[in-house]
Amino acid sequence: MRRFALLLSLSLAACAQPFEGRVATRLAEAGLSRPMAECMAERWVDRLNVLQLRKISNVVEDLKREREQRQLTVGRFVERVREVDDPEIFKVVSGSAVACALRV
């Protein structure tokens, strides 16, 4: 049984890497700097579930369409994520924005 749990956790970890890259790419395409996008994506895939990440993806797609009209800042992104009305998403996104701003 322990063997199965180990194999399952290794499989999930392997899946997280490509998913993290896709999240970072979408954030960068929406206008965030690549280092900021990578830092935030790394934190999100560890803390949010797939449905929550899809909600953020919808916000990112909207922001990509708006990109031609205004420059995307981290503050603007966090403001838009607040509109999703999911306290856990907002907590993770805003926390990662602060942590990554200090790190990048």
Please give the full DSSP string across the chain, using - where no structure is assigned.
-HHHHHHHHHHHHHHHHHHHHHHHHHHHHHT--HHHHHHHHHHHHHHS-HHHHHHHHHHHHHHHHHTTTS---HHHHHHHHHTT--HHHHHHHHHHHHHHHHH-
Q: What is the pLDDT of residue 62?
A: 83
Total domains in the fold of the chain: 1
Confidence of residue 88 (pLDDT cuts 50, 70, 90): very high
Q: Of residues 95 and 1, which shows the higher confidence score?
A: 95
For residue 51, tell me if it sits in a domain.
yes
Within a domain: 48: yes
Q: 0.85 cut: is pTM over it?
A: no
Q: Supply the range of the domain harboring residue 69.
A: 18-103
**Of residues 62 and 100, more confidently modeled:** 100
Q: Does 4 map to a domain?
A: no
Residue-wise pLDDT for 2-23, tens only, equals 554 433 444 444 444 577 888 8
